[in-house]
Amino acid sequence: MNSKLMKLPLLTLLCLSLLYVTGCETVPYTGRSQLMLTSPQQEAQLGEQAWNEVLAKSKVSNNQKYNAALQRIGPSIAKAANKPDYKWEFKVLENAEPNAFCLPGGKVAVNTGLFQYASNDAELAAVVGHEVAHAIARHGGERISQGMVQEAGAQAISVALNGKSAGTVEGIMVGYAVGSNLAVVLPYSRTHEYEADKMGMIFMSKAGYNPNAAISFWQKFKQLSDTGRIGEIFSTHPMSDKRLEELRAYLPTAQDMYNTAPNKKNFGESLK
């Protein structure tokens, strides 16, 4: 290997070596290169399966206030994310754990337990925007791809290079069996969190919600985490001072987007 090649980051090298298949994608809005061995169609199918599993195991809430709020906010975030091919669905789940998620392909769930920390529509839009961003940036597919490379190593790559054989599909399914929980349970990497924070602020601002609500919402969660009441959302979306710093640093850019949003709702309705 020559010295120039040595200086390239490992991911770039991996991407270059896989480039003649579908090895690499670029994340919208941030421009980051990501390893991607799955297709959006495969991810959507897996997301759909995981969604059916979640719904079979969960009770959908009939709280009118919470449902009305999510139906007000969810579609406007989806519109801002501009993915008309996603089969968007938004459901409130009866679950005291303050958490939310968006599966690949656009299935969004918010637990009833999260609403006690969302003071208004804009704060709910902040968390829905963050979750939707994970799906738009295809973080699920990226994690499956990383898992395929790590776990199956050279063999998975060679199978992937030789076309999508039954073995590859099976590999993805195994990845996603961890994966359907992965979407809900395994922590996102810090890179994914920063990316989802930034893109989430873009979506909420374009949807007409004041991006300051992203700071107040995640600030509340940071305080909660500091008191030691660590909930599921912290294990899946690790919170840190650095994350809050980055959110604040991005606020002026998001504010500009909010200022030009066609349908400004500021903080929206109170959820208290």
Q: Give the end-to-end CA distance of the chain in Å, rounded to a whole number.
A: 61
| Geometric angle at alpha carbon 231, from 226 and 234, rounded to 5° | 70
In the bound state with Zn ion, the residue whose beta carbon lies nearer, of 159 and 196, is 196
Shortest Å, Cβ 198 to Zn ion? 11
Site string for Zn ion, 65-104 (x = CB under 5 A): ----------------------------------------
Token digits of residue 9: 């980051």
Longest pairwise C-alpha distance within the chain:
64
Closer to Zn ion by Cβ: residue 107 or 237? 237
Bridge-partner residues for 91, per DSSP? 109
Closer to Zn ion by CB, 237 or 265: give it: 237
CA 196/CA 193 separation, integer angstroms: 5
CA–CA distance, 169 with 156 (Å, rounded to integer): 11
Instruction: Kindly state whether residue 265 participates in binding Zn ion, applying the rule CB under 5 A.
Output: no
Of 44-52, 108-116, 230-238, 262-270, the window that binds Zn ion (rule: CB under 5 A) is 230-238
For residues 169 to 188, the per-residue mask of contacts with Zn ion, x marking binding by CB under 5 A and - elsewhere, is -------------------x
Identify the CA nearest to 233 among candidates 215, 248, 220.
220
Map residue 110 onto helix, strand or coil.
strand
27, 196, 214, 239: residue in contact with Zn ion (rule CB under 5 A) = 196
Q: For Zn ion, which is the closer residue by CB, 158 or 235?
A: 235
Q: Give min distance, CB of 95 to Zn ion, in A.
A: 17
Least separation in angstroms between residue 47's CB and Zn ion is 16
Say whether residue 108 binds Zn ion (CB under 5 A): no
Q: Which of 91, 206, 237, 243 binds Zn ion (CB under 5 A)?
A: 237
Residue nearest to Zn ion (CB): 237
CB-hemisphere CA count at 13 Å for 214?
Answer: 35
Identify the CA nearest to 145 among candidates 25, 10, 7.
Answer: 25
Beta strands 100-103; 107-111: pairing state: antiparallel
- Residue 84: CB minimum distance to Zn ion, A: 24
> Least distance in Å: CB of 41 to Zn ion?
24
Q: Looking at 80-88, 213-221, 231-239, 243-251, which segment touches Zn ion (CB under 5 A)?
A: 231-239
- Structure-token match 């994310």, residue found: 81
Q: Kindly tell me which of 198 and 237 has the beta carbon lying closer to Zn ion.
A: 237
Q: Provide the minimum distance between the beta carbon of 238 and Zn ion in the complex, in angstroms, as a whole number.
A: 8
Nearer to Zn ion, 81 or 152 (CB): 81
159-164 contacts, C-beta under 8 A, 24 or more apart: 160/18, 160/21, 160/23, 160/37, 161/18, 161/21
Amino acid at 93: L
Which residues contact Zn ion (rule: CB under 5 A)?
188, 196, 237
